Structure 1
């Protein structure tokens, strides 16, 4: 028996290999990254492909899913059917589910050992009247949250709700607030409720008012659960020293840019240095501290594009540099339009008094 198992580990499952070739799966990539899957018996390659095809997946999507997550073929048809039923209880349609599987195949093809926990957690989040899309995002981005006992998630939710109420949050807005928080950071459930409490105590002791704490809890995108007092203390001390401001002034800056709390001092040092080396002043950074959320590489690239258009960031507002790539392109486009639009139309007839 042991000899047979050893031989199985050494010999590739030819049915799997042939099925992969038929489905145009990048088998060399599979061999390189997850070759052990090709040695497994039994495997359900054709069954996985048939399930995805029945749901509307194209051949290229099926090949992609099996190349990046070949472990999918180890799920038997019964497991896959149960998974589809669980996901369809919160997913609007099969087309959207295929989109999720394409991006997060490991979240869909999971162990059957977790089905009961998944089912219980789905029911719990539905009982909170959370939007189905939020639940789907949680399942896709943080599947571990659904694999663990529902009691652990209930404890974290009750801790968040209690903190929200104690900080003056309105009951009527709690559902929207919770949805936004979970949407921004699906991994919030993987943290300890005690960490959240400790961080809030630290921030309160640092001088933030109740209203300001609620603002941070809402704006930190859940990072307040990923921090700890020691890391925040180092970041605060470094920021205050390099900016040269009072504690009250620093709190005001942090309310505009909570990133100062969770970036380590080494990252902050690099970004301050990068900004100042371009000729940007500290007063400009204080006026637009969210510029610190961008990497030095991104800032330099945007400055080069603006400089080529004649915009001097040393004298202008940093708002044009700020935001996502989409935000910057919009600001850049408006700036370019203002420069190219003529002040008057030389061929237009002049309006004169009769």
Structure 2
């Protein structure tokens, strides 16, 4: 009997751990669905089946504040369909206490005063807004710190939305990483007058850089310096890598550099130039690079072409083949032309493609050539 009781308790413990801790503090799990919650969600046209498939445990929680969440969002200007999408994608929102939600609204509006914009952010990052009240003090401290750096409020809002973990921890940790970045910028010859803009770009392009350890940044910069990169080149890399230099490590970079140099048959100086033009060569694993080299060479592209336009390595083999086929339809031979036309985002490629086709189809008109007339 004691064994059965112990086993039953263990099973209950396992089930309990599946529920986020910050939500279980003020809620109780029931064996049956909370019918009031289900009815309220139906009234709001929320996709109940989606909730049941992805996060059914929310429907068993009590208390739930479905109406209060919907009212708060509507009061901020959210339409009924937007409310329904938010609650279907992040139903945990209904477990947040109304006082907690009001505090969050006040907090977020200190950096994003336009409610319409804030609703758009909540729709895209609901988990960042509907968070534990235990983090409010840290969030306020971090907002005050980033504002003291004179960072644009839009940047701060983006950080809060896309990397909420960095605002839910003690401000001292963010101060340490920011100071490390600023020190690296200055040590590498960055100008003081441009540091704020540089920091804003770095944080907006990769908000997760704040969550990395400062030691990693120092180790990677030392490694790259030993590989022959000058301070100016390191600063350029640190800016172009958008913080990815904190996600690398000397061992992986060493392996990638050795593979790239051997495959392209270039000198260390040539390789540094290629990396400055295409940092992807540095942070892509050698397995991925091998696949992309194989795809490019298989399409008839030469290694010398790749070295002249290395950014083509940022594209997957599937994308490269698709773009080559598009160009081939209009008679553009990538084997003899420039690879630059392949590069860029989908939108950028379409623009380049359109300009290329326009030049090929438009008749050339020489305004000084004599007109042909019948005798």
TM-score, normalised by the number of residues in structure 2: 0.90
Deviations, residues 94-128 of structure 1 (Å, cap 9, x unaligned): 01001101111111100001000000000000000
Return the offset for 1:178.
Answer: 0.3
The whole-number CA distance in structure 1 between the counterparts of 2:39 and 2:147 is 43
Cα separation, 2, equivalents of 1:154 and 1:280: 47
Partner of 2:4: none
In the TM superposition, what is the alpha-carbon distance from 1:310 to its structure 2 partner?
A: 1.1
d(CA) in 2 for partners of 1:274 and 1:110?
45
Q: Deviations over 1:260-287 (max 9, x none)?
A: 1110000000011111100011111100
C-alpha offsets along residues 156-176 of structure 1, whole Å, 9 cap, x if unaligned?
000000000000000000000
Paired residue for 1:206? Answer: 227
Superimposed CA distance per residue, residues 63-117 of structure 1 (whole angstroms, 9 cap, x where no aligned partner) = 1100110000011110111111111111140010011011111111000010000
Q: Does 1:171 align with 2:208?
A: no
The alpha carbon displacement at 1:196 in A equals: 0.3
The correspondence for 2:237, drawn from 210, 216, 226, is 216
Q: How big is the shift at 1:28? A: 0.6
Residue pair 2:151, 2:200 contacting (<8 A) in 1 also? yes
Match status 1:227 vs 2:278: no
TM-score by length of structure 1 reads 0.95
Give the RMSD, CA atoms, in angstroms.
Answer: 2.0
User: Equivalents in 1 of 2:89, 2:330: separation in Å?
Assistant: 42
Inter-partner Cα distance in structure 2 for 1:21 and 1:339: 57
Matches within 5 A, 1:134-283: 134-283=155-304
Using the TM superposition, give the Cα deviation of residue 8 of structure 1 relative to its aligned residue in structure 2, in angstroms: 4.5
Aligned partner of residue 147 in structure 1, secondary structure:
coil
Supply the distance in 1 between the matched residues of 2:34 and 2:330 (Cα, whole angstroms).
60
Deviation at 1:207, TM superposition (A): 0.8
CA–CA distance in 2 between the matches of 1:134 and 1:302?
Answer: 34
Deviation at 1:9, TM superposition (A): 2.5
Q: How far apart in 1 are the matches of 2:50 and 2:222?
A: 49
Moved over 4 A (4+): none
Distance 1:60 1:169 in 2: 48
The 8 Å contact of residues 30 and 62 in structure 2, kept in 1 or not, is answered as no
CA offset digits 1:280-333 (Å, max 9, x no partner) = 111111000011011111111111111111111100001110011111010001
Unaligned runs of 5+ in 2: 1-8, 17-27
How far did 1:341 drift? 1.1
- The equivalent of 1:303 in structure 2 is 324
* Structure 2 match to 1:22: 43
What do residues 125-178 of structure 1 show as CA deviations (whole Å, max 9, x unaligned)? 000000111101101100000001000000000000000000000000000000
- Among 61, 68, 72, which residue is 2:89 paired with? 68
Q: Counterparts of 2:360 and 2:37 in 1: how far apart (Å)? A: 61
Instruction: Name the counterpart of 1:101.
Output: 122
Partner of 1:10, secondary structure, is: coil
Structure 2 CA distance for aligned equivalents of residues 237 and 329 of structure 1: 35
- Cα distance in structure 1, aligned partners of 2:42 and 2:233: 58
Partner residue of 2:353? 332
Q: Which runs of 5+ in 1 are unaligned?
A: none
Supply the distance in 2 between the matched residues of 1:293 and 1:58 (Cα, whole angstroms): 40
Residues 229-259 of structure 1 deviation map (CA, whole Å, 9 limit, x = unaligned): 1111111011001001111110111011111
Q: Deviations over 1:163-210 (max 9, x none)?
A: 000000000000000001001101001100000000001000111011
Q: State the SS of the aligned residue for 2:30.
A: helix
The aligned counterpart of 2:72 is: 51
Q: CA deviation at 1:339?
A: 1.7
Question: Is 1:320 aligned to residue 336 of structure 2?
Answer: no
> Displacement, 1:10?
1.0
